[in-house]
Structure 1
């Protein structure tokens, strides 16, 4: 009997035309490190009395389908997750292509995602997947990955794939070594680490249905926040926090002219942090920042992915 192994697992993704209806074609093979995407249905303990000390059979509760996918931040495949987070990009240029994603869209695309364990065999198709949150960290070393939190409508299990033969993408990963942080267009020095979290704050439409699934997941007010940890060397960030004025933070990864990813938060507000002296080592300050809609451009953030892919 074959046993499932993560090394043989695969993930295929395609955008849906109709929410909750997986397309027949158009699937792409997605690189991923791990996933918790799945469907669960808890049991409700019987509350009835008068049948003795032994409880009656439990009752099934509503079905919940959601989870996280840990993905590499790479040159091509990451654009599919950016589209899920922000909506359809504006693509320009010939070679390379510039894909510009902007916050503030009222509608988000839904996806069909199939996770495959072919040795069992088990092919789980998750329909109506909408991206709730996208987060990643910047640091000096290590593997650069992002975590996508998804809300799905349901799960369908089959013994054969429904994704056909997914088209593979060229995998070219960014690394922490390729990352830079800028503040108001100038390099921000002494940054030890940074964290970026973009949330769509999805509202699950939990209507009464015979199959126990949700009717949809609508985006509510978006949120962009994060954290930067810096070696305390000057008072520029402290002064900004005290004054309450915003700045622009730019997080960039580059592998050359044809491969780069730039995420810009246009109006970032910094809190006034506690400056602690913990010992003889260097003093560090941590800023838990929040972003808001800027005056110009009139949006909260912009993500620009440059590659040779025709479009998303």
Structure 2
């Protein structure tokens, strides 16, 4: 009897033309490290009395389909997740291509994602996937990955794939070693770690349906938050926090002229942190920052992916 193993699992992704309807072609093979994407339907315990001490049979509740996918931040495939988070990008250039994603779009694309366990076989197609949150961390070492939280409409299980033969992308990963942090265009020193979280704050449209699924997931007010932990060496960030003025934070990864990823939060507000002395080691300060819509440019954030990929 075959046993499912994560080493043999595959994930294919394609954008949908109609929400909740998987396309017949156009699937891409996606690199991923972990996935909790799945569908569940809980049982409701019977509350009826008068039938003795033994309970009556439970009934089925509504269907919930969602989960997380841990993905590498790479040169090509990461653009699919950026499009899911921000909407259609603007692409310019010949070689390389510059794909610019901007916050503030009212319409987000939906995706169909198939996870395959060919040895069982089990091919689970999740339709109507909309990205709720995209987050990652910057640090000195380790593997660079991002976490995409998804809300899906439903799950369909089959013994054969519905994604055909997905087209594989060239995998070229960014690493923590390739990362830099800038404040107002100048390198920000003494940064120990950083966290970035962009949220679409999806509103599930939970209407009454015969199949128990949702009707959609609409974006509401977006949010961009994070944390930077720095070695306390000067009062620049503390002074900004006290003044209540914003700054621009830029998080960048580069592998050369033809491969880079730059994420810019245009108006970042810092809280006044508590400066603790924990012992004889160096003193560190942690800022849980929040971003807002800037005056110029009139948006909250911009993500720019440079590669040789034609279009997303």
Shorter-chain TM band: over 0.9
Offset at residue 72 of structure 1 (A)? 0.1
Residue 89 of structure 1: how far off its partner (Å)? 0.2
Cα offset, 1:66, TM superposition: 0.2
1:122 counterpart residue number? 122
Runs of 4+ off more than 2 Å: none
Deviation at 1:114, TM superposition (A): 0.1
Give distance in 1, aligned partners of 2:142 and 2:38.
28
Q: Quick one: distance in 1 between partners of 2:73 and 2:309?
A: 15
Give the TM-score normalised by the residue count of structure 1: 1.00
Do structure 1's residue 276 and structure 2's residue 282 form an aligned pair?
no
Q: CA deviation at 1:248?
A: 0.1
Cα offsets for 1:269-298 (capped at 9, x unmatched)? 000000000000000000000000000000
Shift of 1:239: 0.1
What are structure 1's unaligned runs of at least 5 residues?
Answer: none
Match of 1:219 in 2: 219
CA-CA distance at 1:20 after TM superposition: 0.2
2:290: which partner in 1? 290
Offset at residue 190 of structure 1 (A): 0.1
Equivalence for 2:38: 38
Structure 2: gaps of 5 or more residues: none
Q: Secondary structure at the match of 2:80?
A: helix
**Secondary structure class of the residue paired with 2:273:** coil
Q: Distance in 1 between matches of 2:269 and 2:308?
A: 35
Give the superposition deviation at 1:217. 0.1
Counterpart-to-counterpart distance in 1, 2:149 and 2:278: 35
1:90 Cα offset (Å): 0.1
Offset of residue 27 of structure 1: 0.1
CA distance in 1, matches of 2:102, 2:39: 31
Secondary structure of the corresponding residue to residue 85 of structure 2: helix
- TM-score with structure 2 setting the length: 1.00
The size of the alignment, in residue pairs, is 312
Take 1:279 and 1:28, find their aligned partners in 2: how far apart are those partners?
A: 51
CA shift digits 1:190-244 (9 cap, x unpaired)? 0000000000000000000000000000000000000000000000000000000
